[in-house]
Amino acid sequence: MNEIEGHIAVIGCRKCGKCNNICPHDALYRVDGVVRVNYDLCTVCMECVRTCPNKALVYIE
């Protein structure tokens, strides 16, 4: 089994909601409106990174 390298970090979420329901693995959730990543579900597919207009979701190696 291949290990996933890197992860998605949340930096400066503006609570716009554009990433709501975008993750095909249901890895995104919100706390007080700020998006969070459930790393147990995240496959680093990058859908959220491509969708975020504020560049608040970023890939970190």
pLDDT digits (tens, 9 = 90+) for 3-57: 678 999 999 999 999 999 999 999 999 999 999 999 999 999 999 999 999 999 9
Domain positions in the chain are: 7-60
With 50 as the cut, is the pLDDT of residue 1 above it? no
Output the pTM of the full model.
0.87
Residue 2 has pLDDT above 60, yes or no: no
Q: What is the DSSP letter of 20?
A: T
Class of domain 7-60: alpha beta
Q: How far is CA 3 from CA 8, 17, 44, in A?
A: 15, 30, 11
Model pLDDT, residue 3: 67
The answer to whether 25 touches 45, Cβ cutoff 8 Å, is yes
